[in-house]
Structure 1
Amino acid sequence: MQCASNQVRYTFSRELRLLTPGDFKSVFANPTRAASPHLTLLAIPNGNQHPRLGLTVAKKHVKKANQRNRIKRVVRDSFRLHQYDLPQVDIVVVAKKGIDELDNAAIHKLVDKLWRKLTRRCNES
């Protein structure tokens, strides 16, 4: 039986979230970007031992609340599974027009690709 301290935890606890407007504002200031036609990921290094995630899905781009929630749920799930592969950065995921037309699997695949691109760009800088 494994000791609890050695287990890898795939949770999305409060400490893994960007919570305040100030957290978001600092990321928008001078970020490293990874983008696709449907999503943009913005990241800046943080002083923590783990990455943190913030999500913005504007009503202007995704009209229905259930679609906005679905997109956020899929992105959070992908982050939860990839959190140990990501560098120590604060990430804001910005949804763009047309993302609500993608199904969950397509969004998951897209976000996975963008995590890799963002990790590569953060490691270069």
Structure 2
Amino acid sequence: MTEYSFPKQLRLLTSTHFKFVFQNPKRVSASYITILGRLNSLGHPRIGCAISKKNLKHSHERNRIKRLIRESFRYNQHQLPAMDFVVIVKSGIIALDNNAFTIALEKLWNRHCLLAHKF
């Protein structure tokens, strides 16, 4: 049985973790979403979000996006390579509904899987 939990070890928690990803990332993008990824040596994927107040003014909008990102990651964590991911969203993201946003994330996760298999 596959476990779909989201414990602390699957999260990027410190600025050092984020800096590691930003140094030499593999980048995949859609219209309003960019996912940066970098291979890690942990044997499992980790995720962090970079959502600025400049792009999403209201906290409830930022929180909705973060919830959707975490949920998508949680369901896809067993198919993803052992990489650290940082999800960056742009200002037009608020126009997407939850379903469209989730579909866009799924496509980006799949593209990261294909990228990881090339290396």
The amino acid that maps onto 1:119 is C
- Larger radius of gyration, structure 1 or 2? 1
**Out of 78, 83, 89, which is 1:89 matched to?**
83
What is the number of equivalent residue pairs in this alignment? Answer: 119
The corresponding residue for 1:9 is 3
Q: Does 1:72 align with 2:66?
A: yes
Counterparts of residues 53-68 of structure 1 (less than 5 Å):
53-68=47-62
Which secondary structure state, in structure 1, belongs to the residue aligned with residue 6 of structure 2? coil
Q: Does 1:37 align with 2:31?
A: yes
Aligned with residue 113 of structure 1, among 107, 111, 114:
107
Deviation of the 1:29 alpha carbon: 0.6
Misfit runs of 4+, over 3 Å: none
Alpha-carbon distance in structure 2 between the residues aligned to 1:123 and 1:43: 13
Give the root-mean-square deviation of aligned CA atoms. Answer: 0.7
1:37 Cα deviation after fit: 1.5
Unmatched runs of 5 consecutive residues or more in structure 1 = 1-6
What is aligned with 2:19?
25
TM-score by length of 1: 0.93
Residue 30 of structure 2 aligns to which amino acid in structure 1? S
**Distance in 1 between the 2:40 and 2:77 partners?**
14
**1:97 Cα deviation from its structure 2 partner:** 1.4
Distance 1:11 1:107 in 2: 21
CA offset digits 1:59-93 (Å, max 9, x no partner): 11111100000001001000000000000000000
